[in-house]
Amino acid sequence: SPLLEIKNLQVSINENQILKNLNLTINKGEIHAIMGPNGSGKSTFSKVLAGHPAYSILGGDILFKGSSILDLEPEERSHLGIFLAFQYPVEIPGVSNEDFLRLAYNSKQKFYNKVEVDPIEFLTIITQKLQLVNMSARFLGRNVNEGFSGGEKKRNEILQMILLDSELSILDETDSGLDIDALKIISNGINNFMGPEKSIILITHYQRLLDYVNPNYVHVMQNGKIIKTGSAELAKELEAKGYEWLET
């Protein structure tokens, strides 16, 4: 079965229906880009996948590895292999990045009845991963995202994605506000992580990221549903023509 199957998903928040019959199927080893105008429901979709409690599911289903996850808590979804990097990464005062990452790692180890690692063992694990995103070890001692530049926050998200080794990662505008060097580092991190057992949903406004990370499919979301699906070429067409020509 596919890794992820979204079937006629309808979602509301505060009595406003945002997702209207969303359908999407993602197989292992695929990268799907989701583009679309502001307010079309892209971030809503990513938060609903991760299990954000503010949204009401009016209808439809989300199947992950063949089973519905609608009744699962965010933490359970994460343990099952769904990773969401938020559009606006949060700062966590008083918690070092190293402790935060180790807790997240050990929480998943525990879920799979694997041995939890101590701080020294964890340092070995995380040091290898840091290299994949060009991050210096001094980030580990700093509080989570506190005082991180935009680019550092985004690299930290990719670090989390790599560390947790989730089958499905959702990156919501991970490329926003990055300079070209940071964009290349992020893209290399994504490309090194990607493989036949992994799938990625890239939510992006810009074709630019897709010059470095090659999607198998590009979808356009508008008004809470996917109105067009194409290849990487579609992103170039959107960059040139905007979204209006697609309007239904």
Q: Which residues of this chain interact with ligand ADP, rule CB under 6 A? A: 13-14, 16, 18, 36, 38-44
Quick one: which of 242, 172, 230 has its CA closest to 203? 172
Nearer to Mg ion, 42 or 198 (CB): 42
Task: Select from ligand ADP, Mg ion, none the partner in contact with residue 248, using the beta carbon and a kind-dependent cut-off of 5 to 8 Å.
Answer: none
Least Å distance, CB 203 to Mg ion, is 7
Least Å distance, CB 136 to ligand ADP, is 32
Quick one: which of 55, 19, 83 has its CA closest to 227? 19
Per-residue binding string, Mg ion, 31-60, x by CB under 5 A, is: -------x---xx-----------------
**Helix, strand, coil percentages in the chain from 3-state DSSP, rounded to 5:** 40, 30, 35
Nearer to ligand ADP, 13 or 125 (CB): 13
The gap between the terminal CA atoms of the chain, to the nearest Å, is 31
Task: Select from ligand ADP, Mg ion, none the partner in contact with residue 16, using the beta carbon and a kind-dependent cut-off of 5 to 8 Å.
Answer: ligand ADP
Please state, in angstroms and rounded to a whole number, the distance separating the CA atoms of residues 40 and 219.
Answer: 12
Please state, in angstroms and rounded to a whole number, the distance separating the CA atoms of residues 86 and 73.
Answer: 17
- Binding-site residue total for Mg ion (CB under 5 A)? 3
Residues 103-162 that bind Mg ion (CB under 5 A): none
Least Å distance, CB 226 to Mg ion, is 15
Number of Cβ within a 10 Å radius of residue 130: 18
For the record, the structure tokens of 187 come out as: 């893209």
Least Å distance, CB 138 to ligand ADP, is 33
Nearer to ligand ADP, 117 or 246 (CB): 246
Please state, in angstroms and rounded to a whole number, the distance separating the CA atoms of residues 180 and 208.
Answer: 9
Q: Using CB under 5 A, list all residues that contact Mg ion.
A: 38, 42-43
